[in-house]
Amino acid sequence: MKAIKITVNGRTHEAGIDSRRTLLDFIRDTLNLTGTKKGCDHGQCGACTVIVNGRRINSCLSLALSHDGDEVTTVEGLAEGDELHPLQRAFIDHDAFQCGFCTPGQLCSAAALLGEFREGLPSAVSGSHTPFVEEIRERMSGNLCRCGAYNHIVDAIAAVAGEKR
Amino acid sequence: MKPFDYHRLASEEALGKMEAGRYLAGGTNLIDLMKHQIETPDALVDVTRAGMDTITETDGGLMVGSQVTNTDLASHPAVRRDYPVLSSALLSGATQQLRNKATTGGNFLQRTRCQYFYDTTRACNKRAPGSGCDALEGLNRYHAILGASEHCIAVHPSDMAVAMAALDAVVHTRKRDGETRAIPATELHRLPGDRPDIDHVLEDGELITSVELPVRPPRLQAYRKVRDRASYAFAVVSAAVALDVDDGRMRNVRIALGGVAHKPWRASRAEEMLEGQQPSAELFDRAMDAEMAEAKGQGHNDFKIRLAPRTVVAVLRDLTEVTENDE
């Protein structure tokens, strides 16, 4: 067991954990924050996406011990009290999910994406002639949706990102 | 995962005093391999917080810490300006989530995605030396056409390393006894031969500390990746090309191929044929035909023998603005 201190959604947690525990299992099983989902557990589906120090990562491919001192935001941390995050509102307005299993990962990914736009980080398709929806599709390629709600997910993100860009 | 000890490296200099263990960087490949129990280290040494995460502009070149993330490297203004082939290669790989975690050093050292390497019920000389290679008679659409052996036909999966090879980047390492060395990126990985279990030339305990990008890279650069879907897929074939054109003649021609071999494949023979010549579609074709002379398909991947040179030729035509059509 090793001791770590991680801040999740503004609250600091100290815990002794097995070295094998991933950040995902730490969030779900140690902290009981089950919004973050375990889909493939191999970094392929994006359901486990959380935001660490402002950057989105696959929490399933990261050891909790590697995040000592880090600040993590999960889907539970997006809303402010009862006030939904604009992306959450947009996902509802655009009917951007069916079963909802991938949604927490989609939301965290999209929330970090807004920050990447603000920072001016490039993507593989960035260019003056790239349609905005193509930018979003490329940047969201790490989040799979087996219900196939992609079109509405892209619409929802575009609606929010368009205003903020 | 099997139980392991976890240690954290505080600085490069502390390496000698550190417990021995497998180095952990972003972990996007290693943690996955540990879940599959393909990698079963007794101890991990986390090297992400040892001060190796900065990019420094040197006298015309760039020194990239081995723990700089793929995102930070691809986004750095000097990389986008002077080494666009590298930025482009990085951005073409994986997803934003993975690039945010994956590091420069780790990207070089990621292991093959051959499905027989991953499937522990199948024969694989890379995973279990001496067990055989199920890819030879199996599904080998993604496998090597150059430099393979009867023991292994796996390919190196990196996009970044292909661009690094084309740029003649230099990998700097440090051993546990403090000795440092500089390894050309083109010589970091090895061909499988009869030891496909060994991916690279690093010694046990040798750590990549930084990667040096050369002064005055060729001005014309491009990376093209051919894959089965538009995003988040490994290359079927990729090409990193860098060259100058001065007074109508090609100079400093560098071509590296991805998805075709156990390492990024520098097309030295083609480079020699193009160097100093005037660009032309006919010459491009001839140079790449020469480069592919020994290419050998395994059945499903035979198409790569034509796809690889065509990809390079298309990039060369774009960069040199050769529009003539010889078909």
Q: Does pLDDT of A133 surpass 90? A: yes
Query: Among all chains, which residue has been given the structure tokens 């970044």?
Result: B160
The SS3 assignment for B193 reads coil
- Residues of chain B positioned with their CB less than 8 A from the CB of A124: 88, 91-92, 231
**Across the interface, which of B46, B91, B96 has its CB nearest the CB of A142?**
B96
**Contact indicator for A65, A33 with CB cutoff of 8 Å:** no
pLDDT at B324: 63
Q: Name the fold adopted by A86-164.
A: DNA polymerase; domain 1 (1.10.150)
Flag whether residue A19 sits within 8 Å of chain B, measured between CB atoms. Answer: yes
Q: Does pLDDT of A76 surpass 70? A: yes
The verdict on residue B9 lying in a domain is no
Cβ contact, residue pair B71, A57, below 8 Å: no
pLDDT at A129: 85
B99 and B205 housed in the same domain: yes
Which residues of chain A does CATH 3.10.20.30 include?
Answer: 2-77
Backbone torsions φ then ψ of B147, nearest 5 degrees: 70, 15
State which residue of chain A sits closest to B90, comparing Cα positions.
A124
Question: In the CATH hierarchy, which top-level class contains the domain A2-77?
Answer: alpha beta
Task: Using DSSP bridges, classify how beta strands B207-213 and B170-174 pair: parallel, antiparallel or unpaired.
Answer: antiparallel
B260 and B228 housed in the same domain: yes
Final residue belonging to a domain, choices B197, B213, B229? B213
pLDDT at B323: 77
- Residues of chain A positioned with their CB less than 8 A from the CB of B235: none
Cβ contact, residue pair A63, B31, below 8 Å: yes
Q: Does pLDDT of B326 surpass 70? A: no
Cβ contact, residue pair A63, B24, below 8 Å: yes
Rounded mean pLDDT of B167-182? 97
Q: What is the number of residues in chain A?
A: 165
- Identify the band that residue A127 occupies on the pLDDT scale cut at 50, 70 and 90: confident
Cβ contact, residue pair B231, A124, below 8 Å: yes
Flag whether residue A159 sits within 8 Å of chain B, measured between CB atoms. Answer: no
pLDDT at B60: 84
- Identify the band that residue A128 occupies on the pLDDT scale cut at 50, 70 and 90: confident
B199 and B240 housed in the same domain: no
Query: Among all chains, which residue has been given the structure tokens 């200099």?
Result: B13
> Cα distance from B98 to chain A (closest Cα, Å)?
6
Q: What is the mean pLDDT of chain B?
A: 97
> Cα distance from B317 to chain A (closest Cα, Å)?
21
Flag whether residue A144 sits within 8 Å of chain B, measured between CB atoms. Answer: no
Percent of all residues in chain A with a pLDDT value above 70, rounded to a whole number:
98
**Contact indicator for B31, B110 with CB cutoff of 8 Å:** no
Rounded mean pLDDT of B263-282? 98
Final residue belonging to a domain, choices B198, B213, B228? B213
CATH number assigned to the domain comprising residue B277: 3.30.390.50
CATH number assigned to the domain comprising residue B155: 3.30.465.10
pLDDT tens profile B58-105: 988 999 999 999 999 999 999 999 999 999 999 999 999 999 999 999
Amino acid at B94: A
Which secondary structure element, helix H or strand E, spans residue B250, and what is its range?
Answer: strand B249-258
SS (H, E, C) B112-158: CCCHHHHCCCCCECCCCCCCCECCCCCCCCCCCCCCCECCECCCCCC
State which residue of chain B sits closest to A48, comparing Cα positions.
B97
The verdict on residue B38 lying in a domain is no
pLDDT tens profile B176-225: 999 999 999 999 999 999 999 999 999 999 999 999 999 999 999 999 99
pLDDT at B10: 96
Task: Using DSSP bridges, classify how beta strands B265-266 and A71-73 pair: parallel, antiparallel or unpaired.
Answer: unpaired
Which secondary structure element, helix H or strand E, spans residue A33, and what is its range?
Answer: none
pLDDT at B327: 47
pLDDT at B155: 98
pLDDT at A163: 59
**Across the interface, which of B5, B28, B231 has its CB nearest the CB of A61?**
B28
Which residues of chain A does CATH 1.10.150.120 include?
Answer: 86-164
Flag whether residue A115 sits within 8 Å of chain B, measured between CB atoms. Answer: no
B78 and B207 housed in the same domain: yes
Q: Does pLDDT of A38 surpass 60? A: yes
pLDDT at B228: 96
**Across the interface, which of A43, A46, A124 has its CB nearest the CB of B32?**
A43
State which residue of chain A sits closest to B31, comparing Cα positions.
A61
Domain count, chain B: 2
Structure tokens at B153: 């036909």
- B117-to-B16, B146, B154, B207 alpha-carbon distances in Å: 32, 19, 9, 24
**Of the candidates A41, A39, A150, which has an alpha carbon nearest to the alpha carbon of residue A104?**
A39
The verdict on residue B325 lying in a domain is no
User: Would you call B73 exposed, middle or buried from its count of C-beta atoms within 10 A (0-12, 13-18, 19+)?
Assistant: buried
pLDDT at B160: 98
Backbone torsions φ then ψ of B170, nearest 5 degrees: -125, 130
> Which chain B residues touch A if contact means CB-CB below 8 Å?
1, 3-6, 24, 27-28, 31-32, 35, 44, 46, 48, 69, 71, 74-75, 80, 87-88, 91-92, 94-98, 100-101, 230-232
- Residues of chain A positioned with their CB less than 8 A from the CB of B31: 22, 61-63
User: Would you call A112 exposed, middle or buried from its count of C-beta atoms within 10 A (0-12, 13-18, 19+)?
Assistant: buried
For residue B150, the enclosing domain spans 52-213
- Residues of chain A positioned with their CB less than 8 A from the CB of B5: 19
- Residues of chain A positioned with their CB less than 8 A from the CB of B3: 18-20
**What count of CB pairs under 8 Å joins A to B?**
90
> Cα distance from A156 to chain B (closest Cα, Å)?
19
B77 and B209 housed in the same domain: yes
Cβ contact, residue pair A122, B91, below 8 Å: yes
State which residue of chain B sits closest to A49, comparing Cα positions.
B97
B232 and B180 housed in the same domain: no
Cβ within 8 Å of residue B82, ≥6 positions away:
B62, B213, B217
pLDDT tens profile B120-148: 999 999 999 999 999 999 999 999 999 99
Final residue belonging to a domain, choices B177, B193, B213? B213
Q: What is the number of residues in chain B?
A: 327
